Structure 1
Amino acid sequence: MRPTRLLTLVALTLAVAATPIAAQQPAPDAAHRAAVQRLLQVTRVREMTEGNIETMLAAQLRQMPQLAPYAGVLRDFYREQMDWKVLEPEFMRVYLEVFTEPEVRELIVFYETPLGQKMLTKLPALMAKSNELSTRRLQAAMPQLMERMQAAMQGGVVPGTPPKPDSTRPPTS
């Protein structure tokens, strides 16, 4: 199980949960809950979550090797925080808030298809490539950002932005 797949599902869930539409939906009933439970099974969220712990730990230790003596503490912490018994009610709540029962049922139908399963398999690679693209673009544009930040700190005109209108002159018509 790849961490990117789990992070993608979580990110998509959280992004959609932040919309005002989610707050306007009626309270979920038993059928809605059962549908969300089935969607979580079809999308293998539990397996991805559980399989993600060692991957997250390995990545963190690669980034910060000085934490190696504390790998056991980190592993225990991740297991505690990522335990399905803790996460499942939170995932359920978010999915219930974000998706109506008919939407959940449509998602189940899609994810049970070969294309839906392929999407689950390919989405981590797609997200990783998208993240790499964004990172490269931002890194390449960093000199522009630094130039703009320096100009802003010095109170000057910020390159690449339109000048502010002169408030002492009356507007021209």
Structure 2
Amino acid sequence: MKYKFLIIALLFCGAAKAQTTPDITPAHLKAAEGMLKAAGADTLFQSSMATMMKQASANVPEDKRAKFITVMNQFMAKYISWDLLKDQIAVMYAKEFTEADLKGLIAFYNTPLGKKLNQKQPVIMQKSALLGQQAVQSHQSELQQMMQDAFKDQ
């Protein structure tokens, strides 16, 4: 199916589920949550999901596109929304950054440059995704041949 990319991406997002670990203090987790808020992670997450949906739906026949988008939006609202994943994402950040690191990131995101980065990030992500899509499309026949060669003995 042409929307395998979206399904794989959704599975990747679902695999991001994490559990709180005893080595993360409440203050450390609070710093991670504060960093996500300061970074505008909710907006970036929603923008990324919308970009992914737009790209995936472009591969769906026109007469089925509206229904595809409706079903995928329902599925994502049920399982892959920011509200459902934000706590788990905060835990992931707390595991990767010290509490001091996270507080430093909060300070950065509250500077004019940090705010500018927040404002520009969705556009940059969208343009980056388009670059990737264009690269795949311009070499699609080569990719198809590579896939055929890789799976011909199976």
Correspondence for 2:31 among 35, 38, 42 = 35
Task: For CA contacts below 8 A with separation 6 or more, give which structure has more relative contact order.
Answer: 2
Correspondence for 2:69 among 71, 78, 82 = 71
Structure 1 residue runs of 5 or longer lacking an equivalent are: 1-6, 15-25, 151-173
The aligned counterpart of 1:121 is 119
For 1:138 and 1:59, locate their aligned partners in 2 and report how far apart those are by CA, in whole Å.
Answer: 12
Percent identity reads 24
RMSD over aligned CA atoms reads 4.0
The aligned amino acid for 1:33 is: L
Secondary structure in 1 aligned to 2:24? coil
TM-score, scaled to structure 1: 0.55
The aligned counterpart of 2:89 is 91
Structure 2 residue runs of 5 or longer lacking an equivalent are: 1-8, 17-21, 150-154
**Displacement of 1:130 after TM fit?**
4.7
Runs of 4+ in 1 over 3 A off after TM superposition: 47-60, 124-131, 133-140
How many equivalent pairs are there? Answer: 129
Correspondence for 1:46 among 42, 46, 49 = 42
For 2:104 and 2:128, locate their aligned partners in 1 and report how far apart those are by CA, in whole Å.
Answer: 26
**Displacement of 1:83 after TM fit?**
2.5
The aligned amino acid for 1:99 is: F
The aligned amino acid for 1:88 is: K
